Amino acid sequence: MVAAAKSQPDVRLAEIGQIATRVKNLDRAITFYRDALGLQFLFQAPPGMAFFQCGALMLMLALPENPEQDHAGSVLYFRVDDIESAHRTLMARGVRFIDAPHLIHRAPEYELWMAFFRDPDDTMLALMQRKPRLA
């Protein structure tokens, strides 16, 4: 049994291909993610799913299939080039921000900035930017 395990290829998961988050009203969520956030809508599929392209990964919005799945989803962090500009634009589109862009962490090469907001189902989302450190 041990010899068979050694002959198996080395598998290391490193890249996320899709993230799913639960929503209560699919039409309302599609409008928010497509129109307010500007994500690229791909398609809608039965029995209650919608898909968006987010760079290299796909975001799936889904109605809960049973009571155990009826809860808020994971926090999605959207990478942006200019967090202050993105914050202003999304606020103008009616996005409910919890806070303004703020510094989270200083690393030697960059500063990590974030701003948190909620979707129509009260799921926490965030903008994030790695700003280069000035010498």
- Count of the separate structural domains present in the chain: 2
pLDDT value of residue 13: 62
- pTM value is 0.72
Is residue 3 predicted with pLDDT exceeding 70?
A: no
**What CATH number has the domain bearing residue 124?**
3.10.180.10
Q: Are 115 and 124 in contact (CB under 8 A)?
A: no
Please report whether residue 8 resides in a domain: no
Alpha-carbon distances, residue 127 vs 4, 20, 75, 118 (angstroms): 45, 18, 10, 11
Residues 47 and 21 in one domain: yes
pLDDT value of residue 7: 66
More confident of the two residues 66 and 88: 88
The neighbour count for residue 89, using CB atoms within 10 Å, is 15
What is the span of the domain harbouring residue 78?
74-135
Is residue 68 predicted with pLDDT exceeding 90?
A: no
Residues 15-31 have a mean pLDDT of 91
Q: Mind listing the pLDDT tens digit for each residue in 92-105?
A: 999 999 999 999 99
Residues 86 and 126 in one domain: yes
Q: Are 18 and 57 in contact (CB under 8 A)?
A: yes
Average pLDDT, the chain: 87
Residues 22 and 51 in one domain: yes
pLDDT value of residue 95: 94
**Beta-bridge partners for 119:** none
Residues 93 and 113 in one domain: yes
